[in-house]
Structure 1
Amino acid sequence: MVARFLTLKLTLMGNTFRKSVWQTIGLILASLYALGIVGSLVVAVAAISFFEDPALAGLAVTLGGAVTVLGWWLIPIFAFGVDATLDPHRFTTFAIPRRTLVAGLAVAGLISVPGIATVLLALGTAFAWVVEPGVLLVALVGAVLGVATCVIGSRAITTTLAPVLESRRYREVVAIVAVVLAVLIGPLIGWLTNGVEISVGPAEDGNAFLAMVQQAAAVVGWTPFGAAWALAGAAHDGDWLGLVGRLAVALGTIGLAWLVWDRALGRALVRPPMGDGGGGRAKGLGAFGLVRFSPTWGVAARTATYWLRDPRYSGSIAVVPLLPVVIYFATQSTGNYFMLLATGPFVAWLLGFSISNDIGYDYTAFALHVAAGVDGRADRWGRTVPMLLVGPVVAALTVVATVWVADSWHLLLPLLGLALGLLLVSTGVSSAVSARLVYPVAKPGESPLKSPQGAAVATMVSQGVGFAVTLGLSVPVLALGIAAVLLGGVLWGVATLVGGLLYGVLMLVLGVRFGARVYDRRLPELLQQVQSFP
């Protein structure tokens, strides 16, 4: 039966190569990327083992393995719905013993790009002990236990939390939290790195840092995350009592996770999660009650509703206020506020470009535009209006905040001109690009972190073209802003502000008109594209 699950998973994985060219290209690129990462890490560990000290390689494997387990356990909580090809609820009507089902799902869970990469990485790093055959054998056992901890623990957590994960409110909140954490991880690492440099002392004193790493590995090696990966290090040091203790922790973790998964799967098969099912109570018409009755304002109201209620949009909104914080922490140690001052124009460009794939986010709801006969002009302006109402306010506040922090008030007018000009230019380009280049995105209700198979290349091409066009059309605004910053003076600042606004309005009008013509000409093709997204 386990072999049948493997065959089923391999068949489903092979079908992706025949389903879509983009999916095939995306899967190949993801596989090559994962293979490159695995190869680099294995070479790094082997180099440490052969040219430095195998004990150092053991420390790296312990800490890296613990991070891998943590990723397997936590990422599915945020990136829900990433892999549901073998959803256990689909086997409810089959008379498969639960233990057999658990075993089959556990083994089949390795048949994926992350699963195969984890197996290769675990086995590859185990051969860092190839010069010590006895330790190598222990390392291989630890690798098998480590991979089992990853897969079984991940399945146990997701199956246990399935009733919560199916809740739409949970998905919306978690999606925003995940995006915020992803943005803040860079400043957090920088802060920790600065803290390490301060605590370690002079750069030539590396012993303190090594002692800190050893202490961290010693603690992590006794946790469920790192016990399996620390077996080889204990065998290398001759710590047989520690080896037995860590082995007990690893086996206990796997056994407990298996038991939790088995019980949770039994409950899920009897009472499968159905989601919260209840929508929010309707109170009036919302944004539709605030606008006049016309196709343009109807599209604008629907777009504004998306920005407020769809986590795929609200997640990106939550990132915008964090960008100045990220860049502030990045520049705090150097005292050079150039990047901080550039945050305002960058945020403005990012806001304008955020609507470059609005039709893709509509998915099948785009059929309503076709059925209602919404023309290109109404559609393009309707999607642009909410950005024109909110974008300038956000961009201006960002510029004022960064100028205040950097104490560079003499750059207020040039930066405002740059920000508003870039916002209008990028919004105009987005209105044109989104009518021509549409690429797959996460469907409504799915995690914003989920990337459909085969979407990577299409996304890079579409965004690359949009970025290149925006950059080329923004040269006059950038040139005027740079001149105002270098030459100084109030007149140059006023000229940048007025010139940026006038030029940006011109590019916006031209972009919307061009996008409207393309939209009217390609309406059937656009509908066919969005409905064929995987």
Structure 2
Amino acid sequence: MVARFLTLKLTLMGNTFRKSVWQTIGMIVAAAYALGVVGVLVAAVVGLGVFENPTWAGLAITLGGALTVLGWWIIPIFAFGVDATLDPHRFTTFAIPRRTLVAGLAVAGLVSVPGIATVLTALGTAFGWVLEPGTLLVALVGAVLGVATCIIGSRAITTLLAPVLESRRYREVVTLVALVLVVMIGPLISWLVNSANDSPEADPGSSTGVQLLPVFQQAAGVVGWTPFGAAWSLGSTAHDGEWAVLAGRLAVALATIALAWLVWDRALGRALERPPVGGGSGGRAKGLGAFGLVPSSPTWAVTARTATYWLRDPRYSGSIAIVPLLPVIMYFSGQSMGNYFLLLASGPFVAWILGFSISNDIAYDNTAFALHVAAGVDGRADRWGRAIPMLTVGPLVSIATVIASVWVADDWHLTLPLLGLALGSLLVSTGVSCAASARLVYPVAKPGESPLKSPQGAAVATMVSQGLGFVVTLGLSIPVFAVGIAALVLGGVLWGVATLVVGVLYGALILVLAVRFGARVYDRRLPELLQQVQSFP
């Protein structure tokens, strides 16, 4: 029966290549990327163990393995709906013993790009102890237990929390938390490195890696006793000859797997015997919302609907949540370089991100785009309706980011040039988005799905569309950048005023021309756009 589950999962994966060219290309790119990452990680760890210090290899395996387990356990909670090809509820009507079902689902969970990459990385990095056969054997056992901890723990948590995950409010909140955690990973790493370099015990003549060794050793010593790192620490513990510690950590690893298996088995039985039933109660709407605040016209109707999406749809609100964190990320990144250049550039960068965030607005509409077609909304009303909310909020956010950056850097003389660059970038990128979204549409997460979920076949289309949009935006922004760079180099109030005037006037001109172009393309391609949106997986 377990082999039947494995065959079923392989068949489902093979069928993805027959759905569309984009899905095939996306799967190939994902597999190639995963193999490249696996190769680099295995080569690095084996190189450390064979040619450098085996202690570093043990630390890398323990801490990296703990992060891998944490990712397997946490990411499915954030990216709800990922890899539901073998949903247990589909086997409710089959007389399959629960233990057999759990075993089959566990083995089938390995058959995916992340699963295969995890197995190859775990087994490959264990050969960092290839010069010590006894330690290598223990490390291989730890790798198998580590992979089992990833798969079984992930399934146990998602099955246990399934009733909660189906709540839309929970998904919205957890999505915002996930996005915040993801974007803060870089600043946390930068802070750790800078703290090690600035600590009193740091040797100015030693490298950063040597200075961080005590920090990593202390962290690995703690992580090795947790469910996340116990299995991965077996190899380094055997290398150090700490046999009592080895027995204790092996017990922790086995107990973690046994407990996760028990939780999964009980949660799966409850889910199959008492499947969740959607309730009929919904929220009560009060008034017309944004529609009651705007004039009665097609343009303002689209504006009100777009504004409602920005406030209530987590796929939009997630983008807003990231924006305030971008200056923080650039601040920490700039500190590692010893200057405030990146922080000062955060204003124009945030403005560009905001303007380009509506470059695929039609795809986010999903089936609701049929209302535009049925209602006969013309291109100009659609384009301006999608741009007005951004043109209302975007300048305020851009100005606030610029003022905050010059305040932290104490470079107030750069306020006018940076404002000109920010407002110019916002207007140009918004205009390019209005034109591009009428021509280039690619798959996105559907309404109600996690914004972190990437539809199959969307990776290449997303990269191509966003790459072209970036090149066009950069080319059209050259006049603003030229005046802005001159103002930053030469200084002076007149140059700052010139940058602000050129940025606003030139950006407004590009915006008007781009909206007109996008409106014509929209009117000409309206049937094709509807067909594309409805064909997305």
**1:474 maps to 2:507:** no
**SS at 2:233's partner residue?**
helix
Distance 1:504 1:40, change over 3 A: same
Measure, in 2, the Cα distance between the counterparts of 1:128 and 1:162: 39
Checking the alignment, whether the CA contact within 8 Å between 1:425 and 1:474 is kept in structure 2 is yes
**1:8 maps to 2:11:** no
Distance 1:221 1:420, change over 3 A: same
Measure, in 2, the Cα distance between the counterparts of 1:186 and 1:209: 17
Cα deviation per residue 1:437-490 (whole Å; 9 max; x = unaligned)?
Answer: 001111111111111111111001101111111111111111111122222222
Aligned-pair RMSD on alpha carbons?
1.6
**1:128 maps to 2:128:** yes
**1:282 maps to 2:285:** yes
The gaps in structure 1 that reach 5 residues or longer are none
Distance 1:276 1:396, change over 3 A: farther
Measure, in 1, the Cα distance between the counterparts of 2:152 and 2:347: 46
Measure, in 2, the Cα distance between the counterparts of 1:215 and 1:416: 46
Runs of 4 or more, structure 1, over 6 Å off, are none
Partner residue, 2:447: 444
Distance 1:325 1:208, change over 3 A: closer
Distance 1:456 1:333, change over 3 A: closer
Measure, in 2, the Cα distance between the counterparts of 1:517 and 1:208: 60
The TM-score with structure 1 as length reference comes to 0.97
Partner residue, 2:75: 75
The gaps in structure 2 that reach 5 residues or longer are none
Measure, in 1, the Cα distance between the counterparts of 2:60 and 2:142: 14
Alignment of 1:392-431 (within 5 A): 392-431=395-434
Checking the alignment, whether the CA contact within 8 Å between 2:197 and 2:211 is kept in structure 1 is no
Distance 1:415 1:193, change over 3 A: same
Measure, in 2, the Cα distance between the counterparts of 1:87 and 1:381: 42
Partner residue, 1:298: 301
Q: Give how far 1:219 is off.
A: 2.1
Measure, in 1, the Cα distance between the counterparts of 2:429 and 2:523: 21
Q: Give how far 1:325 is off.
A: 2.0
Measure, in 2, the Cα distance between the counterparts of 1:260 and 1:302: 43
Checking the alignment, whether the CA contact within 8 Å between 2:139 and 2:232 is kept in structure 1 is yes
Checking the alignment, whether the CA contact within 8 Å between 1:360 and 1:530 is kept in structure 2 is yes
Checking the alignment, whether the CA contact within 8 Å between 1:139 and 1:231 is kept in structure 2 is yes
Alignment of 1:197-346 (within 5 A): 197-199=197-199, 200-204=201-205, 209-274=212-277, 278-332=281-335, 336-346=339-349
Partner residue, 2:54: 54
**SS at 1:449's partner residue?**
coil
The TM-score with structure 2 as length reference comes to 0.96
**SS at 2:266's partner residue?**
helix
Q: Give how far 1:191 is off.
A: 1.0
Q: Give how far 1:238 is off.
A: 2.8
The one-letter code matched in structure 1 to 2:193 is T
The one-letter code matched in structure 1 to 2:91 is F
**1:64 maps to 2:64:** yes
Distance 1:106 1:385, change over 3 A: same
Q: 1:351 aligns with which of 351, 354, 362?
A: 354
**SS at 2:184's partner residue?**
helix
Alignment of 1:109-148 (within 5 A): 109-148=109-148
The one-letter code matched in structure 1 to 2:174 is V
Distance 1:398 1:235, change over 3 A: closer
Q: Give how far 1:212 is off.
A: 3.3
**1:514 maps to 2:520:** no
Cα deviation per residue 1:361-391 (whole Å; 9 max; x = unaligned)?
Answer: 1111111111111111111111011111111
Distance 1:239 1:342, change over 3 A: closer
Q: Give how far 1:208 is off.
A: 5.9
Q: 1:499 aligns with which of 499, 502, 527?
A: 502
Checking the alignment, whether the CA contact within 8 Å between 2:156 and 2:264 is kept in structure 1 is yes
